[in-house]
Amino acid sequence: MYAAAEEALKSGIAISPTSGFHHARWEKSEGFCTFNGLVLTSVLLKEKGMINKVGILDFDMHYGNGTDEIIKKYNLDYIVHYTAGKTYDLHYPLLNFIKPLDRK
Active-site residues: which are they?
23
Distance, CA of 17 to CA of 60 (rounded, Å): 14
The angle subtended at Cα 83 by Cα 76 and Cα 28, nearest 5°, is 60
Provide the 8-state DSSP code for 32. T
Provide the angle, in degrees to the nearest 10, between the axes of the packed helices 2-11 and 37-47.
Answer: 50
Instruction: Name which of 22, 75, 76, 74 is nearest 45 in CA terms.
Output: 76
